[in-house]
Amino acid sequence: MAERTTTTGPLIGADELSAMAPQVTILDVRWRLAGPPGMDLYRAGHLPGAVFCDLDHDLAGPPGAGGRHPLPEPADFQRAMRRLGVSGGRPVVVHDDGDATAAARAWWTLRYFGHRDVRVLDGGLRAWTEAGLPVTADEPRVTPGDFTARPGGMPVLDADQAGALARDGVLLDARAAERYRGETEPVDPVAGHIPGAVSAPTSENVDPAGRFHRPEFLRERFISLGAVPGVPVGAYCGSGVTAAHQVLALELAGVPAALYAGSWSHWITDPDRPTATG
């Protein structure tokens, strides 16, 4: 497949990353909700120079009242990123092994905490290997970075704001449609969705190869869901991971959007908050 992404936006293609790899920090964010551990996948083979970033521990705070993947405390995130070699003045490229679900959480969190040059490898490790580029099991020696975490680089929603947006704007539910409808809930103790939210599965943001659809396609998709100019837009999911993917797709489409980081796993911690099914 021809190279189609450039450094002018939040995505980067495999060939372009290969050409500039020595000048960037690469974070491998492979992750599965039910396993296997991403570190095992990383050790079996990864991009040369890439460092493993643990979504559960490096990109989120401890699960609890804030949800399953609440935002980490700034000091904790700063410490984790410096350990992984992230510096404020050095570009960062993040990737997973497929559709950027996990990588988008890294992209969003770094942007939220103030890093200005973060890109996602479009198509992830699969695109890299399909381009005939090498992988290695050698783990690099990491020079600690100097990244300083400054919250506020991306818009966020709390529960009250998410509920209001579902009524007065557009709140996109990034989960699979059957979870939105409440037909199944494999993770959280309550099924359903925030009343007024619109079902918008992130699987429809990418093609079968796991690469993002073109901006024109995404723009039409989100317009069909009500995300038109002048209407405030937000996204949520189960715990703020796939919703970050939604925010990334919306950015590609030219639509600014806020993230409800606590998402459904936080919404249902208060029994007085309404839920809907169907």
The stretch 160-171 carries a mean pLDDT of 98
Residue 8: predicted pLDDT: 56
Model confidence at 32, pLDDT cuts 50, 70, 90, reads confident
Model confidence at 12, pLDDT cuts 50, 70, 90, reads very high
> Distance between CA 229 and CA 221 in Å, rounded?
14
Question: Structure pTM?
Answer: 0.95
Question: Out of 21-25, 133-137, 165-169, 198-202, which region has the weakest mean confidence (pLDDT)?
Answer: 21-25
> Distance between CA 136 and CA 24 in Å, rounded?
17
* 53 is known as an active-site residue: no
* CB-based contact 35:54 (threshold 8 Å): no
Q: For residue 251, how far is the Cα from the chain centroid?
A: 12
The stretch 125-138 carries a mean pLDDT of 97
Model confidence at 1, pLDDT cuts 50, 70, 90, reads very low
- Say yes or no to pLDDT of 229 above 70: yes
* CB-based contact 32:51 (threshold 8 Å): no
| Long-range own/partner contacts, residues 159-165 (CB < 8 A, 24 or more apart) | 159/260, 159/262, 159/266, 159/267, 159/270, 159/273, 161/234, 161/258, 161/260, 162/194, 162/234, 162/236, 162/260, 162/267, 163/194, 163/195, 163/196, 163/273, 163/274, 165/232, 165/233, 165/234, 165/258
Place of tokens 């699987």: 203
* CB-based contact 194:166 (threshold 8 Å): yes
**Furthest CA-CA distance within the chain:** 54
* CB-based contact 103:96 (threshold 8 Å): yes
Homologous superfamily (CATH) of 159-267 is Rhodanese-like domain (3.40.250.10)
Which residues are within 8 A (CB) of 7 and not within 5 positions of it... i.e. 6 or more apart? 16, 119
Residue 34: predicted pLDDT: 76
- Say yes or no to pLDDT of 232 above 80: yes
Which residues are within 8 A (CB) of 69 and not within 5 positions of it... i.e. 6 or more apart? 55, 56, 59, 60, 61, 63, 105, 239, 240, 241, 261, 265
Homologous superfamily (CATH) of 11-130 is Rhodanese-like domain (3.40.250.10)
Model confidence at 37, pLDDT cuts 50, 70, 90, reads confident
> Distance between CA 31 and CA 97 in Å, rounded?
9
User: Can you give the residue ranges of every domain in the chain?
Assistant: 11-130, 159-267
DSSP summary character for residue 276: B
Place of tokens 């405390």: 73
| The two domains 11-130 and 159-267 share their CATH topology (first three levels equal) | yes
pLDDT averaged over every residue in the chain = 95
17, 55, 237, 258: the catalytic one is 237
Model confidence at 7, pLDDT cuts 50, 70, 90, reads very low
**For the purposes of burial, counting CB atoms within 10 Å of the CB of 243, is it exposed (0-12), middle (13-18) or buried (19 or more)?**
buried
- Say yes or no to pLDDT of 3 above 80: no
> Distance between CA 276 and CA 44 in Å, rounded?
43
